[in-house]
A and B are shown apart, each in its own frame.
Chain A
Amino acid sequence: MTRFEDQLRAALQHEEPPAGFADRVLARAAEQDERRERSLWFQFRNMFAVHRLRWAAAAVAIVVVASGVGLRVEEQRRAEGEAAKRQVMLALRITGEKWQVVAKEISGKTDTRTDQSDRNTHPDRENQE
Chain B
Amino acid sequence: MKRLLFLVISLVLPTIVSAQEIRLPANLEKLSAKAVEVVEVNLDQRMLQLAARFMDPKDPDEQQAKKIIANLKSVYVRSFEFDKAGQYSEADVAEIRAQLQAPAWNRIVGVRSKREHENAEVYIKSNGDQITSLVIVAADPNELTFVSIDGPIRPEDLTGLGGQFHIPEVEMDHKAKSEKGAAK
Binding site for B on A (CB under 8 A): 77-78, 80-82, 84-85, 87-110, 112, 114-115, 118, 122, 125, 128-129
Tell whether, in the assembled complex, residue A92 and residue B165 are in contact, meaning their CB atoms are under 8 Å apart: yes
Q: How far is the CA of A108 from the CA of B180 in the complex (A)?
A: 13
Binding site for A on B (CB under 8 A): 37-39, 41-43, 47-48, 50-51, 53-55, 61-62, 65, 68-69, 75, 77, 79, 109, 111, 113, 115-116, 118, 120, 122, 136, 138, 145, 147, 149, 158-159, 161-162, 164-168, 170-173, 176
Tell whether, in the assembled complex, residue A112 and residue B147 are in contact, meaning their CB atoms are under 8 Å apart: no
Q: Is the interface of B mostly helix, strand, loop or mixed?
A: mixed
Which of B111, B113, B166 has most chain A Cβ within 10 Å? Answer: B166
Tell whether, in the assembled complex, residue B47 and residue A112 are in contact, meaning their CB atoms are under 8 Å apart: no
Tell whether, in the assembled complex, residue B164 and residue A107 are in contact, meaning their CB atoms are under 8 Å apart: no
Q: How far is the CA of A77 from the CA of B51 in the complex (A)?
A: 10
Q: How far is the CA of A19 from the CA of B139 in the complex (A)?
A: 117
List 8 additional A-B contacts (Cβ < 8 Å) besides A84-B54, A100-B170: A81-B50, A81-B54, A85-B55, A91-B43, A112-B118, A114-B168, A118-B168, A128-B39
Tell whether, in the assembled complex, residue A128 and residue B38 are in contact, meaning their CB atoms are under 8 Å apart: yes
